[in-house]
Chain A
């Protein structure tokens, strides 16, 4: 490519959150009249990069240049005024204000008596939409518009500020096929007018349809940037998953028994459809897929928090009617949720109070909790799971992430489950504690528990699971046995690529 000076150039960008290195020395350049796609696995650092461009986060190292001038983004307003517009996955609008008011929020045109000049406001908004080639009534409230239309409002807002750089974070995630095509038409139009576009996505077919160049991030690092013509989807996926020198955590030997849990054609409208799989005793089934593919949603239905519209759940071969978590627990199903702070732990409670919470009535005599028994139970599980604490009376809020996760697992083990649904059990946990959590999962399988493991970390799924079910946009895209699975095959299925 001949030397075209980039509109926006990022050099050596690094960003750290506490102990977590989200971006390491990332370079990226955006050129006018070009759509630049940014792809990567969950947690590769895409969102962090978008937030840096939006002025939400500041990089720890590296610098940004706009037209060759060093740029410091002091906040989202600064980024907008410099012509960098970021369209987030979920539009961020005022639902009760009209389209026109949203587009010009914070800078409504005023008339002579300092009131809002509605005529001028609506005409300006209409002109913006006409320029985008979109028909949109501007005097209706935003509430009630589809996500796709709300995105267009965001785009119109960006161009009312003369945006020169447009960053779109997974804009197609919530759109239908036709809406995606309309969005692409608009993107191409904007590209033709000299806008530099960064298109963050993980759907390969879309990336290869719209992008001129593609950059891949992996584990916070920039892997490659290449013109789209020099890359195949398979290449891109290979770069996304890479080959990491990390210890695998293999599952230990466990006798596989009869089918403990079977899901047949399970559907929940708008979330997932026709999901079927089986889990046997002693078996770990990995549920892989990208964020938003419907993995957590399936688990929530299995645990009775949400409800299916169609399909059947069978526990040990019998039809199971699961209306609430209590029903699920009665059937021996438990769910260790993804977010241990939001749904897992009661931080104010001690370790023992957390562990005993689901079975507090079983531990009670004449309505009163048997403290001695409660303490023994918590101490037993703490020991078994090696929870590091000052004792079972320590408040859960003072534990490290890994130890909190062990307390959440202990809580569920105390209910003596036969089917364990684990949702991202090692997310945000340090390496040492991660290995321990893997050891615990492996032991539980060896004891005959049927385990569903939801994880965004391919190596974790590959290491732990006997079988892997890959979800893509709410449907089962593929199912692999342990020995036929590979990072590439899982990622290909998860990104909607047919088997190569």
Chain B
């Protein structure tokens, strides 16, 4: 319907709206700061209850536990930003972990060779997801639910009931997880590097900008000629690669791999992404937020163990945090939306 607007907003209304705009931007940035504050609060409370919690070695332990999840969360964030989701990440990590372990056991390619093959396998699995979603147009949630089972099935097929144990694995491979760079465990450094590079690329590259545009307004992205399907395919490939990297590191971190490795990981990863402020409907959020989300969840898990609380509490609190994070988001969005509407934006 074509309509006639009678009065333009007054200057004071405009000024108020601009003030609001700044607040909105601030809130968006504060999202990461908010998670940090919650994290600090958790640390403070648990430290008072159990001083043992506050030690360098414990924090190192938490970060080690987070490192692999964080790497997968980086890939997942890339996919979620485009309004998609990858449910198959746990199976991809598991399949890559076992395949890499198997190669290392035979030790025909050497450690670097096995790692390269593992990463490429992850990339390929991601590309297959990407084909299903971007080319065959299967909704991501269905496509990756399918590959969750397919990839896990392949894992079982390859494993055939066996497992790769620490004694089968080369010493220098197992050494990756225990080594450190400048006193910081290598796994933590690797995760931090991957997250920082991804954050930088998403923020500053043309393709990164376009990924956000696709998630934020697909129709507008299409109209400006953004190759939407190619980019969504790319996001799934990146996600597969991240799962692949986590997969090749899995055996080193845990010493043994069986066909059930990393099952259920997808839910932990999605929880981290959502708690980290990445909009599940795409278009907003950052990799840094997702990593902070993973750290927060792992810290709480660690704290509960130290406080000797039961597993039930762990699950319940994780759930409550997800609801809280999403609820806060919705409330803030709704609040500002109302104010914007009131000041006359159509």
**Interface set of A (CB-CB < 8 Å, partner B):** 17-22, 42-43, 47-48, 219-220, 303, 305, 324-326, 328-329, 335, 337, 342-349, 353, 356-358, 360-361, 363-364, 367-369, 371, 388-390, 394-395, 397-398, 400-402, 411, 424, 427-433, 456-457
Contacts and interface: CB of A to CB of B under 8 A. Distances in A.
B206 to A, nearest CB: 4
A428 B24 contact: no
Given A337-B223, A349-B212, A430 B217 contact: no
Interface of B: 1-9, 14, 17-18, 20-22, 24-25, 201, 204-207, 209-210, 212-213, 216-217, 219-227, 283-284, 340, 344-346
Contact of B5 (A20, A357, A394): A20
A369 B2 contact: no
B333 to A, nearest CB: 11
Nearest to A220: B4
Contacts of A368: 204-206
A51 B241 CA distance: 53
A169 to B, nearest CB: 12
Nearest to B219: A343
Contacts, number: 145
Contacts of B209: 353, 356-357, 360, 369
B344 A398 contact: no
Contacts of A342: 217, 219-220
18 contacts: A21-B6, A22-B1, A43-B4, A47-B1, A325-B223, A347-B217, A348-B212, A357-B210, A357-B224, A358-B224, A369-B206, A390-B21, A397-B340, A400-B344, A428-B3, A428-B5, A429-B5, A432-B8
A364 B8 CA distance: 38
A348 B18 CA distance: 15
Contact of B4 (A21, A369, A397, A402): A21
A360 B5 contact: no
A295 to B, nearest CB: 13
Given A325-B222, A342-B220, A357-B209, A398 B340 contact: yes
Contact of B225 (A325, A349, A398): A325
Contacts of B283: 346, 348
Contacts of A348: 212, 216, 283-284
Nearest to B15: A390
A325 B5 contact: no
A429 B2 CA distance: 10
A433 B219 contact: no
Given A364-B205, A398-B20, 19 more contacts: A19-B7, A343-B217, A344-B220, A346-B213, A346-B220, A347-B216, A349-B213, A357-B209, A358-B224, A369-B204, A369-B209, A397-B24, A398-B18, A398-B21, A401-B345, A427-B2, A428-B2, A429-B5, A432-B8
Shortest Cβ-Cβ A-B pairs, 8 listed: A43-B2, A398-B21, A325-B225, A326-B225, A430-B8, A360-B206, A20-B3, A430-B5
B209 to A, nearest CB: 5
B314 to A, nearest CB: 34
B119 to A, nearest CB: 21
Contacts of A335: 223
Contacts of A457: 2
A337 B219 CA distance: 10
Contacts of A394: 18, 21
B4 A20 contact: yes
A395 B25 contact: yes
B3 A427 contact: yes
Nearest to A398: B21
A40 to B, nearest CB: 11
A18 B220 contact: no
Contacts of A400: 8-9, 14, 344-345
Given A428-B346, A433-B8, A345 B1 contact: no
A66 to B, nearest CB: 26
B6 A19 contact: yes
Contacts of B204: 368-369, 371
Contacts of B221: 346
Nearest to B201: A367
Nearest to B17: A398
A413 to B, nearest CB: 13
Contacts of B225: 324-326, 328-329, 358
Nearest to A391: B18
A443 to B, nearest CB: 22
Given A390-B21, A394-B18, A18 B346 contact: yes
Contact of A357 (B1, B21, B213, B346): B213
A32 B247 CA distance: 76
Contacts of A401: 5, 345-346
A367 B206 contact: yes
A398 B284 CA distance: 17
B232 to A, nearest CB: 16
A452 to B, nearest CB: 16
Contacts of B14: 388, 400
Nearest to A412: B224
A377 to B, nearest CB: 14
B222 A305 contact: yes
B3 A364 contact: no
Contacts of B207: 367
B285 to A, nearest CB: 11
Nearest to A342: B219
B266 to A, nearest CB: 27
